[in-house]
């Protein structure tokens, strides 16, 4: 295994996850506020599941997103 290749590949993947995830979360929250499902001052529970089946990885990461 080439550590440099692994590191660069991981960085690229995590950047994609971060950028895409942020965009999708922002759109969902704006839509929910517009539809009246959220007020805009909540603290939202969030969860991400990260899987790499061939490596035996299956982890859930919990957190919160504050709107105000």
Percent of the chain with pLDDT over 90: 100
> Which pLDDT belongs to residue 5?
98
**Cα–Cα distance measured from residue 2 to residue 56, given in angstroms and rounded to the nearest whole number:** 20
What is the separation of C-alpha 8 from the centre of its chain, rounded to a whole number of angstroms?
20
Residues 43-66: what's their mean pLDDT?
Answer: 98
The domain in which residue 51 lies consists of 3-66
CB atoms closer than 10 angstroms to residue 36: 7
DSSP-assigned letters across all residues of 18-37: HHHHHHHHHHHHHHHHHTTS
Domain count, the chain: 1
């Amino acid at each position: 295994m080439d550590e440099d290749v692994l590191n660069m590949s991981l960085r690229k993947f995590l950047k994609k996850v971060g950028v895409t995830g942020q965009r999708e979360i922002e759109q969902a929250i704006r839509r929910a506020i517009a539809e009246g499902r959220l007020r805009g001052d909540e603290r939202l529970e969030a969860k991400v599941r990260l899987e790499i089946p061939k490596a035996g990885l299956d982890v859930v990461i919990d957190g919160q997103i504050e709107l105000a």
